[in-house]
Amino acid sequence: MTKEICIIFDLIMASIFLLIGILFYRSNGKAADFLTGYNTKSAEERKKYDEKKMCKDYGKRMMLWPIPFTIGAVIDFVFPMKGTLTAWIIWAVMLMLLLLERHKREKVN
């Protein structure tokens, strides 16, 4: 039972991240309000950013996030719970890399 739950959980997480990534990518900049920190900037500060490009970039990055969960589902077939844990660790690293890149990019502006 545990194996099936882990596999289903991994596949649901992969689906959610893929859907969010697609929605960001296709939002034409409207999803920028959902980016933490960006939504608190003043209107003058927001003019410095290309919201459409920014949402496409974040959408592309988010569409990579399902990969660890898909791999995790495969690992869970053989080693239950290990694939889920591995997926979350890889995802956390990917998120930290995104945040570091964002911090560097915003420092330049």
pLDDT in tens, 46-97: 888 888 988 898 899 999 999 999 999 999 999 988 999 999 999 999 999 9
pLDDT at position 36 is 74
pLDDT at position 88 is 95
The pair phi, psi for residue 61, each rounded to 5°, is: -65, -40
| pTM of the predicted model as reported, rounded to 2 decimal places | 0.81
13 Cβ contact list (under 8 Å, min separation 6): 66, 69, 87
pLDDT at position 39 is 75
Domain span holding position 18 = 2-108
Q: How many domains does the chain have?
A: 1
